[in-house]
Amino acid sequence: MALFQSNNPVFNEKVLQKAGSSQAEGTMTIKGTINKMAFLLVLVMAAAVYAWGAPARQQDIMPFLWGGALGGFVLAIVITFKKEWAQYLAPAYALAEGLFLGVISVLYSELYDGIVLQAVGITFATFLAMLVLYRTRIIRATEKFKAIVFTATAGIALFYLLAFVLSFFNIRIPFLHEGSTIGIIFSLVVVCIAALNLVIDFDLIETGAAQGAPKYFEWYASFGLLVTLIWLYLEILRLLSKLSKR
């Protein structure tokens, strides 16, 4: 997934400034963004349910896994650089990621009973908690806060990239996958950083609406928030699997 400077990789202040300076029909609103985010979530869940049922239909799940992962990655890159295309590509991204998440969820559920429902529940509970903390201004998206979360997010991304490269040489980082104390602490930290990204996304959506960003930015903002939610869900799955191993 893309990373960075909202600390959502696809939604940051530089992007907001560029979008605000362009001409487009209508302006961004918070209500419009919420509606589009809800639509994208429905697409994700629909695709995930379809992929979840693949084993029952005796279908190979690997095309869903790799097709969804690679398709979602390519679409995310395109949307990041062509933000005005988000209104057309964000739904496709949601469907691709839904297929990927459906397969990943099936694989986890076969190893740990009930883990998927727990992860979904915790993900949405975290989303609501961070929204409340943001709306009540208990957590403020100050420049210092943004800098800290961005640095942490970038560090996690580089670490995951290093782990991915090392895997080609059959070198595994134990605490990344195992349920050791260090592994659990690492996952807890990553989940917290992913959750804090939501605060920055909320702030940028609110700022975009206040500054009158173009209407298409509602799709782009919804896409950016979806990226963070998917990352959060995957990290919660990883954390719960480590706890189950103990």
For 138-167, the pLDDT digits (tens) are 999 999 999 999 999 999 999 999 988 988
Domain presence at residue 3: no
Domain with 220 in it: 27-245
Whether pTM exceeds 0.75: yes
Mean predicted confidence (pLDDT) in 59-76: 93
- Percent of the chain having pLDDT more than 70? 89
Domain presence at residue 17: no
- Percent of the chain having pLDDT more than 90? 74
Report phi then psi at 220, rounded to 5: -65, -40
Domain presence at residue 13: no
Number of domains observed in the structure of the chain? 1
pLDDT of residue 18: 57
Domain presence at residue 166: yes
The alpha carbon torsion through 100, 101, 106, 110 (nearest 10 deg) reads 120
Amino acid at 216: Y
At a CB cut-off of 8 Å and minimum separation 6, what does 27 contact? 209, 212, 213, 214, 215
